[in-house]
Structure 1
Amino acid sequence: MAKKRSEIADVDRSLYDFRFSDADAEKLAAGLTPDIVREISAKKDEPDWMLDFRLKSLETYHRMSKPNWGPAIDGLDMDNIVTYVKPATDQKSDWDSLPDDVKSTFDRLGIPEAERSYLAGVGAQYDSELVYHNMQDTAAKMGIVYSGIEEALKEPKWEALIHEKFMTLIPPTDHKFAALHGAVWSGGSFVYVPKGTKLDFPLQSYFRLNAKGAGQFEHTLIIVEDDADLHFIEGCSAPKYNVVNLHAGAVELFVGKRAKLRYSTIENWSKNMYNLNTKRAIVDEGGTIEWVSGSFGSHVGYLYPMSILSGKKSSCTFTGITFAGAGQNLDTGCKVVLNAPDTSAAIETKSISKGGGISTFRSSVVATKKAEGSAASVSCQSLMLDAMSRSDTIPTMDIRCKNVDIGHEATIGRIGDDKVFYLMSRGISEEEARGMIVNGFADPVSKELPLEYAVEMNNLIKLEMEGAIG
């Protein structure tokens, strides 16, 4: 009798690793020069101020050094990265109007079905350009704006607002790859939610990098005005190649007084990817930012969403999980600046490492002199599945006033043999038992996601757990 396959082994790996030829795509030359930056800007038909911004960002990039405090990124050579790849299609609002390969990509990832089921709007980016964008009439009638950021730049009303906000939370001088983003950004989303508007269903953007040896540099700008409420979901994936790919996107979130924004992300980049993404939010009085983050894939990752609590009684929560497998070095975490009275932050993270993977949790909590009466808690739990793997916790606290309550706790452990034995005594295989324990460990993150994304995250864990015994 054939051996029954476990649930872990039954997962279809081709869900994320499929790819199509990019022979018909329009590509710029690899490398990073002023001429390439000018060519990107010309293709976008941008206002002059944006071209100036790009060129100044490029100058900043060349002046700055690579980070030397995290995982090594010596394998990343910008001379070999193509910074702009345009797929052979323009943006559509109907899935059936897309070329077969592009449509098939998003069909297999389940994006059209998700849109039909429960989303208020969807944007889909393929390499450097948005290829699909649509929003339900009900959301549009509420005055919500959800479009590609390049499309919004062509509208005088929104150009002025974008000019005011663009890369003010993440200035090009912040770090070398913020400067890179400022020089070559392409695609991304613009969302504006008017005062008092509450959208019951999420908006979603999905970013797919298909081209070999390319980078993706989308920019997301979301403005949630006073007393408004929004849930925004971001997903991303890429097939695996034997050359380096790069992701250096940027996310800027502006949350108004008493407003609420939940930003959920499942990042599933291929394991040849350098993921050097920057995300930052600023929150006004009584407002709330909620981060839900799942980080899977990529060879090297630097990812630390940051919240600046600038208004009295503003708050943030961060719930995240990282899974580092063989050949992965993922340096992730969260940053919070308490910059007003009575602010609060709650950070809960989980990390899993196996097969020699390295997972580092890096947190930063800053309480400025304005933060009287504020509180923050940081909790990090790490699970190592074998003796080859590594997990580190690096908390930083910078407290500049007396009346604050800030704490940090961290635990690192392994799967207990007694738990595995108990499940095996109930007829469950060892591989399935370990998978169940890991999924239980990840449950606090999973339950914060919409059902379809919780299922995706659990499937990703199952993929990573394959072969975790023996």
Structure 2
Amino acid sequence: MTQAAQTPETKPQTDEEIIDSIGAYGYGWHDSDAAGASARRGLNEDVVRDISAKKNEPEWMLKRRLKALEIFDKKPLPTWGADLSDIDFDNIKYFVRSTEKQAQTWDDLPEDIKNTYDKLGIPEAEKQRLVAGVAAQYESEVVYHQIREDLEKQGVIFVDTDTGLREYPELFEEYFGSVIPAGDNKFSALNTAVWSGGSFIYVPKGVHVDIPLQAYFRINTENMGQFERTLIIVDEDAYVHYVEGCTAPIYKTDSLHSAVVEIIVKKGGRCRYTTIQNWSNNVYNLVTKRTKCEEGGTMEWVDGNIGSKVTMKYPAVWMTGPHAKGEVLSVAFAGEGQFQDTGAKMVHMAPYTSSNIVSKSVARGGGRAAYRGLVQINKDAHHSASNVECDALLVDSISRSDTYPYNDIRNDHVTLGHEATVSQVSEDQLFYLMSRGIEEDEAMAMIVRGFVEPIAKELPMEYALELNRLIELQMEGSVG
């Protein structure tokens, strides 16, 4: 989450002032790149061994990494979706260590890193107790981490993934790669080979984490690859809400963000995973996210995709136990030069399971937004139900929206609903709002905010306000 600093004398800006005065991307500064400048480029066995050695990992993890590298080298790039042929894997920096050790307080952080997170409002969120725990990843590693003491006493684990491997090796090894194996796709193989950072969370039986855990991911170095690995285990009848935010500086050359998120929801458990992504328009955002949801469990993905050059992301729920539930609420905004290829995957593997997908996309300035989704109901998943809604809004005549639904139904005793709409902002809508004294740019922003409101209302208040502000920034100059 980001927060604009205000002095006591500063009056809050109106929507119109924000649109008129602020650039479309407000987080494009970069700090000193001394660590990044000395980092090695390219990917080979020596690089993978070096990453593992620097982290002092057990032998089994090194073997996993090297096997994943073999898979990555053999697997081709996807031939569908966005064109990824311009990614130069030999020019990427796969590991950048920005600080030698994790800070215990914000004041312990190196000054340039601390200033970055001050600008993004992260320490303020912790001070105001808006979050139950906070993690900050800068480049390849988590530089700061805290969790409320009362949650620690209840047995909640919230650490960075590297610490999880060191301090909880049996739990970690049991679940690492159990939901998303290295061979799932080319980028899950890449992540498994070079992963660094991310969050490791375990919520014990019956424990409810009442306010969100938050993580923030920042790329600073040019040609950087960020490959965090997040692993969340929600035990029986437990609950957690995890929120992540992402930004990067603007460079002339591209960076790569390729994360893997694995979630296991046990019997009767519930997990909500919220993403507010605002990468700069030189970042390829290629992410694999999947949940295994057991009997009576509930998984909710709330996905906000605002920035990046290319995003390919399809949060998934594998419902393996009866009465499991999966939900994906997704909003994607494609501006000039951007391709948002997003969607969801729901796989019903047990009876009486249910899923719901609501996808909203907005395209302007020649941007392209696509919904790509799968609903699979297996032969044993009788009396299951799924509902899919895909709505696209085109702000102008030069933008594009596509829908690629795939439904694989193998049982007759199920219910499936699918609805898709594409609409364009009409002259009548603008005229009506302008006749009420609203300026044209502000009227356009209001229409877009109303369109995505079903997603925004599912966010915590401060994140909903942030999403609306990001939309306003993206809508700058959309008229005329």
CA drift at 1:263: 0.5
Per-residue CA deviation, residues 364-400 of structure 1 (Å, 9 max, x unaligned), is 0000112100000000000001111000001000011
Aligned with 2:119 (options 99, 108, 112): 108
Partner residue in 2 for 1:382: 392
Root-mean-square deviation over aligned CA pairs? 1.3
1:259-408 to structure 2, matched below 5 A, reads 259-408=269-418
SS state at 2:290 partner: strand
Q: How many residues align?
A: 465
Matched, 1:419 2:418: no
CA drift at 1:256: 0.8
Name the aligned partner's letter for residue 394 of structure 1: Y
Matched, 1:161 2:145: no
Counterparts of 1:393 and 1:239, CA distance in 2 = 31
SS state at 1:466 partner: coil
Name the aligned partner's letter for residue 367 of structure 1: I
Matched, 1:131 2:143: yes
CA drift at 1:316: 1.1
CA drift at 1:11: 3.8
Counterparts of 2:126 and 2:302, CA distance in 1 = 20
Per-residue CA deviation, residues 322-378 of structure 1 (Å, 9 max, x unaligned), is 000000111100000001000000110100000110100001000011210000000
Per-residue CA deviation, residues 138-190 of structure 1 (Å, 9 max, x unaligned), is 111111010011112112xx211111111121111111111111100011110
Give me the identity figure in percent.
49
Check conservation: 1:6, 1:431, Cα contact below 8 A. Answer: no
Matched, 1:196 2:217: no
Check conservation: 1:324, 1:330, Cα contact below 8 A. Answer: yes
SS state at 1:173 partner: helix
CA drift at 1:52: 0.4
Partner residue in 1 for 2:470: 460
Counterparts of 1:7 and 1:179, CA distance in 2 = 42
Check conservation: 2:358, 2:389, Cα contact below 8 A. Answer: yes
- Relative distance call for 1:219 and 1:26 in structure 2 (3 A) is farther
Counterparts of 1:27 and 1:245, CA distance in 2 = 16
Per-residue CA deviation, residues 385-431 of structure 1 (Å, 9 max, x unaligned), is 11110000010000111101012110001112212111111111111
CA drift at 1:465: 0.4
1:236-255 to structure 2, matched below 5 A, reads 236-255=246-265
Counterparts of 1:33 and 1:8, CA distance in 2 = 46
Matched, 1:78 2:89: yes
Check conservation: 2:16, 2:442, Cα contact below 8 A. Answer: no
Partner residue in 2 for 1:68: 79
Matched, 1:218 2:210: no
SS state at 2:123 partner: helix
Aligned with 1:121 (options 133, 136, 156): 133
Name the aligned partner's letter for residue 220 of structure 2: N
Matched, 1:36 2:13: no
SS state at 2:42 partner: coil
Matched, 1:208 2:221: no
Per-residue CA deviation, residues 11-36 of structure 1 (Å, 9 max, x unaligned), is 46564111112114574311110000
Counterparts of 1:256 and 1:27, CA distance in 2 = 44
Name the aligned partner's letter for residue 447 of structure 1: K
Name the aligned partner's letter for residue 457 of structure 1: L
Name the aligned partner's letter for residue 211 of structure 1: T
Counterparts of 1:48 and 1:407, CA distance in 2 = 48
SS state at 2:81 partner: coil
Counterparts of 2:21 and 2:104, CA distance in 1 = 35
Name the aligned partner's letter for residue 144 of structure 1: V
SS state at 1:298 partner: coil
Partner residue in 2 for 1:185: 195
Check conservation: 1:375, 1:404, Cα contact below 8 A. Answer: yes
Counterparts of 1:13 and 1:69, CA distance in 2 = 29
Matched, 1:447 2:453: no
SS state at 1:45 partner: coil
CA drift at 1:7: 3.5
Counterparts of 2:24 and 2:398, CA distance in 1 = 24
CA drift at 1:5: 5.7
Counterparts of 2:124 and 2:452, CA distance in 1 = 26
CA drift at 1:94: 0.4
SS state at 1:271 partner: coil
Aligned with 1:53 (options 64, 70, 80): 64
Q: Which runs of 4+ in 1 moved over 6 A?
A: none
Per-residue CA deviation, residues 90-110 of structure 1 (Å, 9 max, x unaligned), is 211200110111011111111
SS state at 1:154 partner: helix
Matched, 1:95 2:97: no
Counterparts of 2:389 and 2:38, CA distance in 1 = 44
SS state at 2:27 partner: helix
Counterparts of 1:6 and 1:127, CA distance in 2 = 34
SS state at 1:418 partner: helix
Check conservation: 1:11, 1:459, Cα contact below 8 A. Answer: no
Check conservation: 1:7, 1:432, Cα contact below 8 A. Answer: no
